[in-house]
Amino acid sequence: MRQDKKDLGWRPVAAFTAIGIAAFVGHRLWPTFCPPLTDETTMVCAREWIGALSGWAAFAAAAASVPYLIRQWQEARKQTSFTIGDDEPTLDVVEHLQEENRLVVRIVNWNRRAVFVTGIYATTKTRPQHMEDDIGIWQVQTAESEDRSGRLPIQIKGWEHRGDRPGFARIDLFLLRKLPGEGQGWQRDQSVPFPRDAKITTKMLMLGNVHRVFELEADAFPQM
């Protein structure tokens, strides 16, 4: 509801602005359209003003319909891209419902071309460049197989047959921190929670006549 009110807030301002402009223009042009009136010129003046106002009204109606037509065009483009298989893959991140300190990353390939996940990393506002902790892959599940090796790249098949389920990859992630081990110079890994402001980014490679490299990003947790 807040968003709706915010979107409607420009309308009163636009209305008052339009009225002010119309009043100013009318005041400036009144002597031109309507010289000092006599009984013979009253009807001529009224006719010209009505004709001018009808033209401006038609222009205003056409201008008001432009945003609606643009939205229709954008939706038509989205539907066309989806139909022919040119839509972009999507990335979703949620907390694991049963395992503590684990995230579930799901990538769905809505494109007819195959894609590869070539890298996964996390960033935060406090440590935006490189986190001191390392991301580990617990397991990877695709439409064809399940893999616990955690190796990259991960292939996601293209959605060639629109009647079938699109290709996807579910990747379970955890965060590892290096801690001192029992022996001198030894280290051990410990799973730690992801920062609440963490963002998960995946590096993607899409195959085609010209291979394309891009990134997908999503918040690890809901942001208030």
95 and 203 share one domain: yes
| 37 and 79 together in one domain | yes
Q: 122 and 198: one domain?
A: yes
Residue 147 lies in a domain: yes
Query: Is 37 among the domain residues?
Result: yes
Distance between CA atoms of residues 11 and 17, nearest Å: 10
Residue 182, both tokens: 């029992």
Which pLDDT band holds residue 67 (cuts at 50, 70, 90)?
A: confident
Residue 224 lies in a domain: no
**pLDDT, tens only, 40-65:** 555 556 556 656 666 666 667 677 77
pLDDT digits (tens, 9 = 90+) for 129-167: 545 567 888 889 887 788 877 789 999 999 888 888 899
| pTM (2 d.p.) | 0.62
Across 58-77, b (16+ Cβ under 10 Å) vs e yields eeeeeeeeeeeeeeeeeeee
> In terms of residue numbers, what domain contains 184?
90-219
User: Looking at the structure, do residues 69 and 100 belong to the same domain, yes or no?
Assistant: no
Question: pLDDT at position 6, please?
Answer: 46
Is residue 202 within 8 A of residue 219, CB to CB? The reply is: no
Structural contact between residues 214 and 206, judged by C-beta atoms closer than 8 angstroms = yes
Domains of the chain: total: 2
Q: What is the pLDDT at residue 196?
A: 87
pLDDT band at residue 77 under the 50/70/90 scheme: confident
Specify whether 48 is located in the same domain as 137. no
